[in-house]
């Protein structure tokens, strides 16, 4: 997607991109907390390429602190509008942004492809991230083994992958969401589904 499209689409990004934003982003936030080393109340999450800060709502509701950064000024403005005084939002490029102090977790959702040099980006994030880096990964777009090798090279020795099966563009009834979440832990069946659709969530820590 071209940058000017993000400028045009900033308004109501979350509401238009996610068929059931509350359910989808709640599941994403739960995994940000629980996959890999657990986040505790008061921990700070830096969300790179934060868009309009939709994930921020969910993380703040879990007692975490949230800092959002996006390269598109219109997106950052929407995130500010959404989160107000509750979270600092900045305009910046994920390739070189440095937070004012170390953060407990860094997240990058639907934006890992904006890293100019993936290995260098992971090393940059490792320099200011205490507990873990969490991002989503499409295994049909990237070789998982290559990404894991880049993470290890940046000092992230512990890497957890979790299939993420709550759909982005289809709103499912509650029971179907529960089934989708259960299937994420189904091993070979989950890996088969990932050959056709869906993504992994990756948590990388030391």
- Interface with ligand SAM by CB under 6 A: which residues? 6, 17, 48-51, 70-72, 75, 93-95, 109-111, 114
DSSP helix/strand/coil, 141: coil
* Residue 69 token pair: 């950064």
For residue 48, the cross-strand partners are: 69, 108
Residue nearest to ligand SAM (CB): 51
Q: Which is nearer to ligand SAM, 62 or 175 (CB)?
A: 62
Q: Which is nearer to ligand SAM, 72 or 129 (CB)?
A: 72
DSSP helix/strand/coil, 128: coil
Burial class (CB in 10 A: 0-12, 13-18, 19+), 54: buried
Minimum Å gap between C-beta 195 and ligand SAM is 23
Q: Which is nearer to ligand SAM, 5 or 186 (CB)?
A: 5
DSSP helix/strand/coil, 187: coil
Q: d(Cα 46, Cα 113) in Å, to the nearest integer?
A: 18
For residue 68, the cross-strand partners are: 47, 89
Q: Which is nearer to ligand SAM, 22 or 179 (CB)?
A: 22
Q: Which is nearer to ligand SAM, 120 or 152 (CB)?
A: 120
Say how many Å lie between the first and final Cα of the chain, rounded.
33
Minimum Å gap between C-beta 119 and ligand SAM is 16
For residue 133, the cross-strand partners are: 106, 204
Minimum Å gap between C-beta 129 and ligand SAM is 16
């Amino acid at each position: 997607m071209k940058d000017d499209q993000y400028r045009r689409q900033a308004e109501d990004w979350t509401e238009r991109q996610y068929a059931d934003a509350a359910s989808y982003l709640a599941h994403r936030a739960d995994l940000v907390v629980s996959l890999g080393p657990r986040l505790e109340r008061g921990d700070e999450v830096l969300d790179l390429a934060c868009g309009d800060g939709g994930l921020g709502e969910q993380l703040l509701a879990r007692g975490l602190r949230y800092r959002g950064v996006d390269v598109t000024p219109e997106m950052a403005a929407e995130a500010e509008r959404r989160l107000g005084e509750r979270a600092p939002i900045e305009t910046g490029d994920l390739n070189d942004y440095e937070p004012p102090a170390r953060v407990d977790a860094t997240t990058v959702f639907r934006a890992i492809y904006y890293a100019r040099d993936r290995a260098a980006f992971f090393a940059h994030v490792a320099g200011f991230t205490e507990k873990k880096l969490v991002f989503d990964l499409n295994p049909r777009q990237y070789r998982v083994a290559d990404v894991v090798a880049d993470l290890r090279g940046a000092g992230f020795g512990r890497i957890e992958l979790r299939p993420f099966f709550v759909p982005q563009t289809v709103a499912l009834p509650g029971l179907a969401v529960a089934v989708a979440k259960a299937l994420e832990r189904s091993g070979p069946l989950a890996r088969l589904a990932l050959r056709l659709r869906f993504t992994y969530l990756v948590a990388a820590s030391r």
